[in-house]
Amino acid sequence: MPAAPTSAQAVAGARIGIDVGGTFTDFVLALPGDPRGLLHHKEPSTPGDPARAVADGIAAVLGRAGLRAGDLASITHGTTIGLNAIIQRRGARIALVVTEGYRDILEIGRSRMPSSFDLHASKEEPLVPRDRIVEIPARLGPDGRPVRTPTDAELARVAEQLAATGAEAAAVLVLHGHTDPEFEAEVTRRLGALLPELPLTSSAAIWPEVREFERALVTCLNVYIQPLMRQYFDRLEALLDGLGVTAPVYIAASNGGSLSLRSAADRPIETVLSGPAAGVTAATRLGRAAGISRLVTFDMGGTSSDIAVAVDGEPEFATHTTIGGLPLILPVVAVSAIGAGGGSVVRADEHGVLKVGPESAGAAPGPVAYGRGGTRPTVTDCYLHTGVIDPATFLGGRMTLDAPAAARALGEVAEGLGFGNDRTGAGADAAADGALRVATAGMAVELQKTLAGRGLDPAEFTLVPFGGAGPTHAAVLAEEVGIREIVVPPTAATFCALGAVGADLRRDFARSLRRELDATTVGALRDILAGLEARARAWLAEQGPASGAPVLTLAADMSYAGQAYELRVPLPASSGTLELAALREAFHQEHERLYGFRDAGAAVRLGTARLAISSAGPEIVPAAVPVTGDPAPPVPAGRRDVLLAGRRVAADVHRREELRPGQTLAGPAVVEQDDTTVLVPPGWSAGVDPLGNLRLTHA
C-alpha cells in the first residue's frame, strides 16, 4: 500500500468515489495529480440502510488515510437504489394524468409480447394501475398547435379525481407534449395549484422526445422512485453531516457522467444504471492510457455480471434500454447483463438439473462460507472449494472463510444431482466444477449474442474485468468466447468507485422535430439546438465547480422516409454551421457504414435533436513505471492444488503487490490481492505492464 496522503495534500483536492453493490460497498480515495495517493476500501453493504455502509466506509477511509472530513473536495456516489426499486416494484404509489382517450397507454404499450414463441409469456404489470390513471381534456396536435386546452372547471374535476386515487405523486402526459413543452408545463402548473401537497411532474420536462408510451413511462419511473431516492439522499446527508463532511456530493449517472445531489433528487431516473456506467468510464480511461482501442468490459459483482463495449476510447451509448422489463428512453452507456455474479445461488432444481442464479445471496446472508447464516452455496463458495480462493487471505485476511461449510453445502447440491451422499469429496467437487461451467456457458452465450448483434468479432477485443469476481472468472469466460487478451487493472475490485471519482459532469438533452429534412427544417434544427445549449449551460452552472471547460456533443436521429427506425448521426459542435447538403451526406454515410448501402435520391427525415454537455472530471491515471533490463522471474508466495476443468492441478500463488512491471508468469497460477483474485489457467501467461495492469494472453 502506498504512503497515505497528508492532510495538507488532501486539502488540494482529496476526492472519494463510491459504488454501492449488493454485497459490498466500494470506496476509492484519490488525489488528482498524485496517483500514488489512491486508497481502496470495501465495506459490507447494509441493504436495510444503504447510507450506513456509505458513511461507515467514508469514516474508515478517512481514518486509514489520516485525513479529516473537512479535507475532502468532493464525493461521487454510484447507487442501485432506484434500479432495485424498479425491479422489485418497491416504489411510491403514483398516478398518471393523461390526455382523454389514452387511459390505457401503459397497458397497451407497443402491443408486443415479451417472447414471440412463448405461448405462456406474460407482460409486465403496468407501473400505474388503471384506477390511478386520470384523463384530462388537454391535447396538442403533431405540429405543436393546441387542440384542446382545459378550462378551470375541467381542471377542478381532474384534481378531484386525482386526489381520490391516494397517490403520493403523479406524472402528467399531454398528447404530443414534446412539440411544445411549455404547454404541458402550464397544464401541470395549473393542476398543481389545485393540489399543492401532491408533487406533479410534466413528461416534457423529463424527456421531450416523440413516442408517447415511452415518454409516459420514463416520467412515471422518475416519479415512482423519487420519494425513495430523496429519502435516501436525506439520510445520507444527515450521516455525512454527522461526520463533519462539507464537500459537495455528486451522484454517478447512467450516461457515464455525474450530476449534483440536487439534480439527482429531481431526476433520479438518470441514475438507475450509475454503478455499471462508472465502471465502463474507468475502463475507457484505462484503455486510452494503455493503448487498447477495442475493449469489452466485464463487471462481475455479487449479484450479476455486465458487459459493455468501447471502441477508440469511447463507450457505446444506447438511447433506449430495458429496466425490469420496462423500456427506458434515456441515453445510457450500453451495458448488457449477461449472467451470474459471485453471490448467485447454486442449486439442483426439481428435475435434478444444475442451476446457477438468478437468485443471489447478496450481502445478507451472503455465501455459505461467510458464516452469516447462509445455507445455499454460491459461485463464491465454488471458487473457494476449487482452491482458487484462499479462505485465509480473502479480503486481505480481514474475513476468514469457512471452507468446510462451503463443501458441505455443495455436497448437498451434489445429492440433488444424483452424486450420492459424498458431502466433502467427489460430489462437492463435481457440483462446484459443474456450477462454474454452467455460469460460464450462460455468460458466453449472452456475450457472443451481444457482440454479434453489433457485428463485432470477440477475437478483436481485449477483455477488461473488474468487480470482486471479474478477474477470477475472466480467463475462463475469455477462453470460452475466443478472446485472447485480458487486462486486469490494479484496482479491479473497486473499479466502479474509481470511475465515479473521476467522472465528468454530464447531462443529455433532446427535443423531437419529426420533419422531412429541407432548408426550413435545418433552420428549425439550429434554433432547437441553440435552445438546448442554453439549457445545458444553465444546468452545468448549477452543478457547482467544474474541473474542465464545457464540451458540447451534438447529434440528430435521422432516417429515410418510411423507415421505422432512426440512426444517430453526429453533428458539428457548433449548431450555427449546420448545412442541408452536409446533413444529408452525413446521414447517407452513416447508413452506408451500418447497412452497406445508401439511397441518395430518397427523402430523409429528421427525428430528434440531441445535445450532451460535459465538463471533465479529475484525471485519475497511474504514472507509468518504465521497464529497464530483463526483470527476474517472480518468486511464488506458495503453491496449492486448484480444481480446473474437472481435474486438480498444482498452481503457483503470487501476491499482486509483489509483482513488478516487466515480470511474467505462466499458468496455472493464482494472483492474489486484498480485494480480488486473478486466475491464470493452463495455456495462459500473465505479465505486468508499465501502468501496473496485469495482462493475460492466451498461447
The model's pLDDT over 495-530, given as tens digits with 9 standing for 90+, comes to: 999 999 989 999 999 999 889 999 999 999 999 999
154-163 residue pLDDT tens:
999 999 999 9
CATH number for the segment(s) 505-615: 3.30.1490
Interval 237-267: pLDDT, tens: 999 999 999 999 999 999 999 999 999 999 9
Amino acid at 566: E
Using CA atoms, how far apart are residues 342 and 357, in angstroms rounded to an integer? 10
Give bridge partners of residue 311 from the DSSP assignment. Answer: 294, 314
Residues contacting residue 425 through CB under 8 Å, at least 6 positions apart: none
Q: Is the dihedral of CA 268, 575, 608, 325 positive or negative?
A: negative
Angle at 316 between CA 315 and CA 319, to 5 degrees: 130
341 CB neighbour count, 10 Å cutoff: 32
C-alpha cell of residue 151: 378550462
pLDDT tens track for 55-85: 999 999 999 888 999 989 999 999 888 988 8
Angle subtended at Cα 408 by Cα 402 and Cα 414, rounded to the nearest 5 degrees: 140
CA distance 55 to 58: 5
Per DSSP, the three-state class of 502 is coil
Cis peptide leading into 47, omega within 30 of 0? no
pLDDT digits (tens, 9 = 90+) for 301-333: 877 888 899 988 889 898 888 887 888 999 999
pTM of the model: 0.86
Provide CB contacts within 8 A for 217, sequence distance 6+: 106, 127, 326, 327, 328, 329
CATH superfamily ID and name for 7-85+229-271: ATPase, nucleotide binding domain (3.30.420.40)
φ, ψ at 531 (rounded to 5°): -65, -40
Q: What percent helix, strand, coil does the chain show, rounded to 5? A: 40, 25, 35
* pLDDT at res. 508: 96
* Whether 230 contacts 261, CB under 8 Å: no
Task: Extract the residue ranges of the chain whose pLDDT is less than 50.
Answer: 1-11, 35
DSSP string, 300-356: E-SSEEEEEEEETTEE-EES-EEETTEEE-S-EE--EEEEE-TTEEEEE-TTS-EEE
**Amino acid letter, residue 295:** L
DSSP, residue by residue, 624-640: P----S-PPPPPPSEEE
CA torsion angle 78 81 83 88 (round to 10): 160
User: Residue 636: CB partners within 8 Å, gap ≥ 6?
Assistant: 652, 653, 654, 669
* Whole-number pLDDT of residue 623: 63
Return the residue matching grid coordinates 477462453.
479
Distance (Å, rounded) from C-alpha 549 to C-alpha 250?
18
Q: 14-20 and 24-30: which strand pairing?
A: antiparallel
Greatest CA separation found in the chain?
85
pLDDT for the residue numbered 24 = 81
Predicted confidence at residue 3, as pLDDT, reads: 38
Question: Half-sphere exposure of 691 toward its Cβ, with a 13 Å CA cutoff?
Answer: 19
Cell numbers standing for residue 624: 507509468
Residue 511 confidence (pLDDT): 94
Q: How many whole angstroms separate alpha carbon 646 and alpha carbon 59? A: 44
